[in-house]
Structure 1
Amino acid sequence: MREVTIDVICPNCANKALFNSAYEGNYVKSPSKNGKVTCKSCGFNAPFIFSNKYYFYQIPVGNKILYARTLEDLIVLRNYFQKNFINAEARDPELDFPKIFYIRRKEIVKKINVVLEGKTLHN
């Protein structure tokens, strides 16, 4: 069984930790909400029920939040939105991201760059 790892906010110390769970679902595979969190900072190591509020990489965009599972995924998202505002490609925003993400893509790139420079945006 394949597992997924997500960078999360440690529920004990609020530093970056790792959430591991199995994929579930038959057609569209997604991580199980039930898994385990391990934190190198405080030693937290316990079963955990995941929710979106624990994503370590959260980029607020208007009344929505752009989530990234890992640092690598965050970089992919930054590059995607950066490319799409430089090239101004015509896309139907409803196909993959909410329309507001395309409207505010420069803001997204700026905020992701802040995170990549070592600052965080999560609460």
Structure 2
Amino acid sequence: MDIKSNSLYSQMQNMSLQAMGNKPPVIDADVINGIASNSVGKVNQSTSNFGDMLTSALKGVNDLQTESGEKKRAFEMGDSNVTLAEVMIASSKSGVALDATVQIRNKFVEAYKEIMSMPV
């Protein structure tokens, strides 16, 4: 897969802005009309950051894996409240979530290697 460095860098900047909840500064209408204004643009003061988002996503994947394991165990033990369909759906959900997590990790590693190989 050929990733252009400028494209990758701009995508990472956009992802960083989205993760931090920040948006590019908005130009005030008064500034456009030539009237000086003290407002520079509002920045979202959200306390969430990329690390927190990543941690919560990984916890969600872990929860799906745990739920799948519990349903498998309950079905194997003969619990009549758990059907085979529920077990298969939970297993599929956890499998898809784990595959997506691995792919995201691989993309991060690729991006990191690409950035580290860029000349300064």
TM-score normalised by length of structure 1: 0.32
Q: Which has the higher helix share?
A: 2
Structure with greater Cα Rg: 2
TM-score normalised by length of structure 2: 0.32
Q: Which has the higher strand share?
A: 1
